């Protein structure tokens, strides 16, 4: 009888220990995934969070009367973006960059002034390329700003 009671207590302790271990493991996994997500967010900076910086540094005349587009995903240094007439390269030194497209005269027939902007994700350095035609993939971009 005594042995059965001890066996029951030992089994209950094992179950409690397993539950505690599983809870700790689950919390560790959740904490790790949250920290990994925060690290990526801090590095990548969603394009919406960069809109103010983009306007301040690349659109000193202000965004009014323009449409600002952003790529849905970062582009890689050395990759290219094709317009109707030209090919523009993302600077090789940019590991990853956001691609912004500014339509300076929305509603007007092309060809009219527009800009291609590549902003390095980590340094926030950017280049502006003046153009007259939109990217071929403009329908796959998201609108960040549009006020007429």
Under a CB-based contact definition with an 8 Å cutoff, are residues 98 and 107 in contact?
Answer: no
Q: Is the dihedral of CA 143, 132, 137, 101 positive or negative?
A: negative
Region for residue 58 given its phi and psi (left: phi exceeds 0; alpha: psi -120 to 50; beta: otherwise): alpha
Pick out the chain residues at pLDDT < 50. 18-20, 22, 24-43
Token pair belonging to 76: 């890689």
Summarised one tens digit per residue, pLDDT across range 98-109 is: 999 999 999 999
Residue 70 forms beta bridges with which residues? Answer: 100, 142
Q: Count other C-beta atoms under 10 Å from residue 143's C-beta.
A: 10
pLDDT confidence of residue 44:
59
**Looking at residue 38, what is its pLDDT?**
43
Structure tokens at 26: 């689950």
| Cβ count within 10 A of residue 22 | 10
pLDDT at 9: 63
pLDDT in tens, 121-144: 999 999 999 999 999 999 999 999
Phi/psi for 3 (5° steps) reads -65, -40
Residues 116 and 87: their CA atoms lie apart, in Å, by: 11
Three-state DSSP class for residue 81 = strand
Q: What is the pLDDT of residue 42?
A: 41
Share of the chain above pLDDT 70, in %: 69
């Amino acid at each position: 009888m005594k042995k059965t009671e001890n066996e029951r207590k030992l089994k209950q302790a094992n179950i409690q220990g397993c539950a505690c271990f599983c809870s700790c493991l689950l919390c560790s996994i959740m904490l790790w995934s949250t920290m990994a997500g925060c690290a990526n967010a801090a590095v990548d900076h969603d394009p919406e969070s960069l809109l103010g910086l983009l306007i301040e540094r690349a659109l000193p005349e202000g965004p009014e009367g323009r449409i600002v587009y952003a790529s849905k995903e970062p582009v890689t240094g050395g990759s290219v973006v094709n317009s109707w007439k030209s090919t523009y390269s993302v600077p090789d030194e940019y590991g990853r960059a956001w691609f912004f497209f500014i339509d300076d005269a929305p509603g007007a027939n092309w060809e009219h002034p527009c800009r291609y902007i590549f902003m390095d994700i980590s340094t926030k350095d950017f280049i502006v390329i003046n153009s007259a035609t939109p990217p071929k993939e403009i329908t796959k971009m998201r609108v960040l700003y549009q006020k007429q």
